[in-house]
Structure 1
Amino acid sequence: MAYTDCMRSLVLVGHGSHLNSESAAAVYRYAELIRSRGLFDEVVEGYWKEEPSLRQVLKTCTYTDVTIIPMFISEGYFTETVIPREMGLGHQGAVPREGVARSLGGRTVRYTLPYGVHPAMTEVILERAREVLPDAGGDDTALIIIGHGTTRNENSNKVVHQNAELLRQRGIFSEVHALFLDEEPKVTGWREKVHAKRVVMVPFFASEGWHTLETIPEDLDLEGTVTVFSSQIEAGQAEGAPEGAGEQTVYYGKPVGTHPAVADVIVQLAEEARGASLVGGDRQSDHRAAWDVFMNLARGGLRMGEIMVTPHGGLFEVRHALDEGRSSETLTTLVTPDGLRDHTRLTESGEHRPVHTLRNLRRGWRAVLSEEDLPRAIHTLYPAVVEEGYACQTHALRSTPWPTTARRQTGIYGKVQQATPAQVEHVAEEVCGGCLKTRVWAGQRLNQTFFGGVPGAIPCAEACTFLVAEIREEVAGKRGQAGGHSH
């Protein structure tokens, strides 16, 4: 399948984390997989807790036909409130089956349901079950779909119950149960509910993580992929089971969200969201202008933030500016934007870098890139910086003052609205003091940018989510305390 009638951008939106570099891994993996298929003219990642942020990511899109896929396993607070709000979609609440389409700044932007609620996910559950037990099914086999569950949003468990019912109707298994970690019916009580001797458990989670690798196995006493449990008499006889029922064998599968078929589900969602009419041309003029100017500068050599770009016979070398003059043989050579991303997402000491413009870019590498790959590599190192830097250089950058950012926060972050100006400034001085960016949103002036030859002159148009989280901790009196961070 190819799209030839217009140029299209696909945006995969994930949660991300300020603390854990693995949180974004699934989104990166699917972006790479879909990018390799050549079905879209570009595939871009965006995050709530990392960069490019939800507030920035549309600026980084080259084309005016944009489809946004929430990389979440179910509907809920993030897909219905946070993402539409932060991306300015003018929509709150449940997303209709056909998605939401808006005209924003000369673009057609389509926002879909999260991939986890797509009907094709039922087959992904079956695939996961058959991976761990090839002959899964029959009178002696039960399927348990394990969801997270929450009392805060009823939609978070709806998709698990729906898939359980669909598979129940198909009659493949003797029993199909929807059980949860944090709400009833809880998965810890599975032995009182399940009669079958063979039990396949499939976690309905977006990625491998704490719950799938530790919480579930520990709570259920699982010993790996296959665990044998002795007679149910000691653990509580399942209602209706024969007296003295024997042992049960549990086959524990991998989470559905990491299955390669999810890439096909994403593509289906994007295709189904194509209904809205296009506006404008194929490219965004300000985006094109920013990158045209950047590439012209790069062809003559450019310094930007902590990096330097040097042309070499049709190729470009990118390295840390402090490694200038070092022999190439002493540096790790990278040849793709993805390799560069993986190498620079951690600091020298192995800490996660959720904010890419913090002055902690690791040294000791060089990237050798084609002219085609250079823009994505720069976007990888400094997301949205070219677009916002050019807007600042041409006096077109719109900044968002702190009170506006604070009023937009909801849920646990609504607390930041109580922050005094002194608290905001105190936290910003500490957090932003280690960042290359100048706080234009706080009234700081930036008369030149790296486009004008000042490498470290990068504008910050709005308080980032990392700063918002730190201000929340300050208001709560937890900042600096061990275990005080919730981001």
Structure 2
Amino acid sequence: MGHLPTARPASGDYDGGTMRSLVLIGHGSHLNPESAAAVYRYAELLRSRHLFDEVVEGYWKEEPSLRQVLRTCAYTDVTVIPMFISEGYFTETVIPRELGLGHQGPVPREGVARTIGGRTLRYTLPYGVHPRMSEVILERAREVLPDASGEDTALVVIGHGTTRNENSNKVVYQNAELIRQQGLFAEVHALFLDEEPKAADWRERVQARRVVMVPFFASEGWHTLETIPEDLELRGEVTHFSDPAQTVYYARPVGTHPAVADVIVQLAEEARGASERGGDRDPEHRAAWEAFLRRADLGLRMGEILIAPHGSLFEVRHALDEGRASETLTTLVTPEGLREHTRLSETGEHRPVHTLRNLRRGWRAVLNRTDLIRAVHILYPAVVEESHACSGHTLRSTPWATTARRQTGIYAKVQRATPAQVETVARDVCGACLKTRVWAGHRLNQTFMDGVPGAIPCAEACTFLIAEVREEVSGKRGQKAAAHD
């Protein structure tokens, strides 16, 4: 199994390769832990192929955030691929804005190239618009109904649809038409959740006795697990209806199919442009991890975790488990095992913000030097890089007013929040977090890199806080609205 080669420059033992970073951007969720799972899986699959020197995940609703993710890249040649199923609001507005691309609107076929902070950044179209996605739809259909017939079987491709961007439904129609032309099904329909023609009205449109429904979604999330089954009255993979008699075969979303990894690689290759040799090691990133390893070699407390050197290995455990007998703890030997063990809190709550003070206890990870860096990135994304910058007085903070002005869509209303409202929400949200609100003017002269365990900077308000401020302004705070997550 491959691991993130971020450890190579930090340990000083890597001199080959093309020095290219691949960044996969997902939506993520404050509420649903499964929303980010597909991106995690693709990142790990691509690491195992060793086609890129590192593969990094970034998210809109989780960590590392879009505002942090470039800082976590080890190299100066970075290709960013939106892990979205269609062009739309997020790929054309949110992601370019948060990455500081200076681009808004449709992305050209060859992508957008910029130089940002000493890095060459290439931003591509979302993988879902790639022509090979029609093949993935057919693969998903065959999984649930291997003997699909052009005589008595209909295919329904279900998209989200939105009134905010007319491009969001285009790819669903295009794929439906490509499959229709092959004559594999008696009927092929493109239906949507949030626009006409509505998926909920499928029985008024579909005549075939057998119906295969394939969600054209990027991940297994709230819509594919709850909205579609509830709206369409589906009861698992196979549902029988009467009057008229029809059987529905409900497939998994196309975005979780392994073949998507090939689409990602092709997009990245097409985006390389003139840079065949790749980039160089990013000096700030390398300096941060070298400083971290020096501290780890001596033993280190970082937030809620303890790192203890043992010969050529390191043991990582929850600080509250210090002194507890090792045999009473679950032993983990891979960074990815650590991710699975700590993505939920002790009470089963999703942890979209990794520095919330609810890290699960009862485990120990025994890791080599390379895997230690990967594990720390998983536990506390961007914390090493931002803390090192803070210790060196080079960390730039973003005041709330600037963050609020940048918000668009349903989050634009946070611009109306009063300072008192922001502070009220911050006391609850940020009070449960390990970080110090540098963005709010709180001083942090030293960090855990200087030997102060709980000193971790927060350079900008996170999306979790922004979402809660939006609810406060709307008068709905405390009412979890999954539809808007």
Q: What are the superposed Cα offsets for residues 249-280 of structure 1, whole Å, 9 maximum, x if unpaired?
A: 43322221111111111111111111154799
Which of residues 367, 376, 379 is equivalent to 2:377? 379
Cα distance in 2 for residues equivalent to 1:485 and 1:223: 21
* 1:57 CA displacement: 0.4
Which of residues 138, 158, 175 is equivalent to 2:170? 158
* 1:467 CA displacement: 1.2
Superposed, 1:106-185 pairs within 5 Å as 106-185=118-197
Cα distance in 1 for residues equivalent to 2:330 and 2:204: 56
Counterpart residue number, 2:299: 301
The change in CA–CA distance for 1:445 and 1:279 in structure 2 (over 3 A counts) is farther
Which amino acid is the alignment partner of residue 287 of structure 1? Answer: H
Q: What are the superposed Cα offsets for residues 85-141 of structure 1, whole Å, 9 maximum, x if unpaired?
A: 011111111111111111111111111111111111010011111122223242333
Counterpart residue number, 1:288: 286
The change in CA–CA distance for 1:402 and 1:222 in structure 2 (over 3 A counts) is closer
Moved more, 151-160 or 186-195: 186-195
Cα distance in 2 for residues equivalent to 1:278 and 1:445: 44
Three-state SS of the structure 1 residue aligned to 2:370 is coil
Which amino acid is the alignment partner of residue 360 of structure 2? Answer: R
Cα distance in 2 for residues equivalent to 1:402 and 1:472: 13
Cα distance in 1 for residues equivalent to 2:247 and 2:355: 51
Which of residues 392, 397, 400 is equivalent to 1:399? 397
The change in CA–CA distance for 1:141 and 1:103 in structure 2 (over 3 A counts) is same
Cα distance in 2 for residues equivalent to 1:42 and 1:337: 15
Superposed, 1:4-23 pairs within 5 Å as 6-23=18-35
The change in CA–CA distance for 1:475 and 1:333 in structure 2 (over 3 A counts) is same
* 1:230 CA displacement: 4.3
The change in CA–CA distance for 1:398 and 1:173 in structure 2 (over 3 A counts) is same
Three-state SS of the structure 1 residue aligned to 2:478 is coil
Cα distance in 2 for residues equivalent to 1:140 and 1:485: 35
Q: Does the 8 A contact of 1:473 with 1:485 survive in 2?
A: no
The change in CA–CA distance for 1:142 and 1:399 in structure 2 (over 3 A counts) is same
Counterpart residue number, 2:3: none
The change in CA–CA distance for 1:459 and 1:188 in structure 2 (over 3 A counts) is closer
Which amino acid is the alignment partner of residue 238 of structure 2? Answer: V
Q: What are the superposed Cα offsets for residues 274-313 of structure 1, whole Å, 9 maximum, x if unpaired?
A: 1154799511001001101111111111111111111111
Cα distance in 2 for residues equivalent to 1:230 and 1:451: 66
Q: What are the superposed Cα offsets for residues 341-390 of structure 1, whole Å, 9 maximum, x if unpaired?
A: 11111111111111111222121111100101111111111110110111
The change in CA–CA distance for 1:148 and 1:313 in structure 2 (over 3 A counts) is same
Counterpart residue number, 1:449: 447
Cα distance in 1 for residues equivalent to 2:479 and 2:142: 46
Which amino acid is the alignment partner of residue 107 of structure 1? Answer: R
Cα distance in 1 for residues equivalent to 2:345 and 2:119: 36
Which of residues 91, 94, 119 is equivalent to 1:79? 91
Three-state SS of the structure 2 residue aligned to 1:101 is strand
Q: Does 1:314 align with 2:318?
A: no
* 1:80 CA displacement: 0.7
* 1:400 CA displacement: 0.8
Cα distance in 1 for residues equivalent to 2:145 and 2:480: 43
Moved more, 345-354 or 200-209: 200-209
* 1:175 CA displacement: 2.2
Cα distance in 2 for residues equivalent to 1:468 and 1:48: 12
Superposed, 1:75-474 pairs within 5 Å as 75-230=87-242, 232=244, 247-277=245-275, 281-474=279-472
Cα distance in 1 for residues equivalent to 2:253 and 2:278: 41
State the percentage of identical aligned residues: 80
The change in CA–CA distance for 1:434 and 1:218 in structure 2 (over 3 A counts) is closer
Moved more, 425-434 or 318-327: 425-434
Q: Does the 8 A contact of 1:149 with 1:157 survive in 2?
A: yes
Which amino acid is the alignment partner of residue 468 of structure 2? Answer: E
**Structure 2 unaligned blocks of 5 or more:** 1-15
Cα distance in 1 for residues equivalent to 2:223 and 2:56: 28
* 1:228 CA displacement: 4.2
TM normalised by structure 1 equals 0.92
The change in CA–CA distance for 1:226 and 1:344 in structure 2 (over 3 A counts) is closer
Three-state SS of the structure 1 residue aligned to 2:155 is strand
Cα distance in 1 for residues equivalent to 2:194 and 2:278: 47
* 1:29 CA displacement: 1.3
The change in CA–CA distance for 1:67 and 1:413 in structure 2 (over 3 A counts) is same
Counterpart residue number, 1:244: none
**Structure 1 unaligned blocks of 5 or more:** 233-246
Higher relative contact order structure (alpha carbons within 8 Å, sequence separation ≥ 6): 2
Which amino acid is the alignment partner of residue 265 of structure 1? Answer: V
Q: Does the 8 A contact of 1:427 with 1:471 survive in 2?
A: yes
Three-state SS of the structure 2 residue aligned to 1:343 is helix
| Structure number with larger C-alpha Rg | 1
* 1:484 CA displacement: 9.4
Moved more, 390-399 or 193-202: 193-202
Superposed, 1:10-49 pairs within 5 Å as 10-49=22-61
Three-state SS of the structure 2 residue aligned to 1:396 is coil
Q: Does the 8 A contact of 1:64 with 1:279 survive in 2?
A: no
